[in-house]
Amino acid sequence: MNAERTLIMGVLNVTPDSFSDGGRYATAATAIGRGRALVAQGADIVDIGGESTRPGAAPVAVDEELRRILPVVRALAAEDIAVSVDTIHAETAAEAIASGARYINDVSGGTHDPEMLAVVARASREHGTRFIVGHWRGIPDPAQQRSDYDDVVAEVRDSLARQADAAISAGVDPSHVVVDPGLGFDKTSEQGWRLLASLEAIRALGYPVLIGASRKRMLAEALDRVPAAAQTEGPARSDRDAHARDLATAVVSALSARAGAWGVRVHDVAGSAQALEIERLWAAARPEAVPAVRPPVQAETRDRIALTGLEVFAHHGVFAFERERGQRFLIDAEVAVDLSRAAAGDELASTVHYGELAEALRDAVERDPVDLIETVAERLASVALGFPAVRSARITVHKPDAPIDATFADVSVTVVRTRRDSGSVR
């Protein structure tokens, strides 16, 4: 799976009441076939759902949800297909993970079932399972009476930050967290467009962002403004004709990729695969002097926390006597952190505890002797970026007692690494 490009998550509803598929894949055989087809069309991940989350949908008992999804999860996972399970139930998540699911996609962000975070934390540690934290305000309300935001972007961003922090506090590895602004979940169409246009504010949290606009009402309402003759497959306003929204979905996929989305969740994989390839070629053809994509917001953060002169005794070096005797190393670390939330709320959780940072860096230097201080610097950058609030890290490793046959004051190596939306660094 190429983390450099926007991933495609193909939707596979194994429900009889899906607004989009209308129960077409409600049997295991048809669902398994559909999952294979989605991968053939370009899906990187297949997202299996056994309970509809559309407004007004009837709740489904966990036993029934499991009956619907587990044969499909097992079959696709056995073929080494990356499977995600769309569920708000911890028991379903646990069974799905045991059956081979690599992602848990919880539209409630872990707020619906109090056991969910414990389940995904254990799976994160033991299996590397990733947790997709969705934003909502409760079971979707058909009347959208909970769409009363003063500032939808700020409120969704802050809510996602809290839920991601809760997941990490429960034990989920920070690199396993993905966030989803929850388009259509207690949000008007106007609010949905505002979130898309402000995607960089969500990305500034430092987590990969999944966008799920596929075939949603906000697209139907947008297409109502298009002349009837331009409609591709009948009246877009009809839920029975959700396929009429696939072209608009593909456009949103391309624009989301341009804005830095980690992934797009879509029903029509083929259309979005084509759109993303066109966007990729367009971006690749631009002159190097003109960036194709705005640099990650994290790299633009001007706020800094600096820790300098951290002295550590360790056994790194090319020569055998360096490994045997050991020597001093001095570490300078400068991390980019958005300090506005911490300052506004006087909250330690919104910044970096420099004592914990110092301890983590010291422990990383002391373990596993290596030949090069370049390797040590790279290790320390990864450690610094493991702190959720850190956007980028500048690490300098000084070796003042290096065995150089000349008079010198210091020798050092500096690396600068930035958190990428994939959860890796560059």
Q: Is 330 helix (H, G, I), strand (E, B) or coil?
A: strand
Catalytic annotation on 187? no
- Active-site residue (options: 216, 245, 258, 420): 216
Residues in the chain: 426
**Are the beta carbons of 259 and 272 closer than 8 angstroms?**
no
Taking each helix axis from N to C terminus, what angle separates 28-41 and 62-78, rounded to the nearest 10 degrees? 50
- 303 vs 122: CA distance, rounded Å: 34
Q: What is the DSSP string of 240-289?
A: GGGGGGHHHHHHHHHHHHHTT-SEEEES-HHHHHHHHHHHHHHHHHS-TT
DSSP secondary structure letter of residue 92: H
Q: 387 CB contacts (<8 Å, ≥6 apart)? A: 174, 335, 352, 356, 357, 360
Residue 142: both structure tokens together: 């058909």
Catalytic annotation on 399? no
In degrees rounded to 5, what are phi and psi of residue 379? Answer: -60, -45
- Tell me the β-bridge partners of 7: 263
- Active-site residue (options: 265, 362, 417, 420): 265
Q: 90 CB contacts (<8 Å, ≥6 apart)? A: 113, 114, 115, 116, 118, 119
Residues with catalytic roles: 216, 265
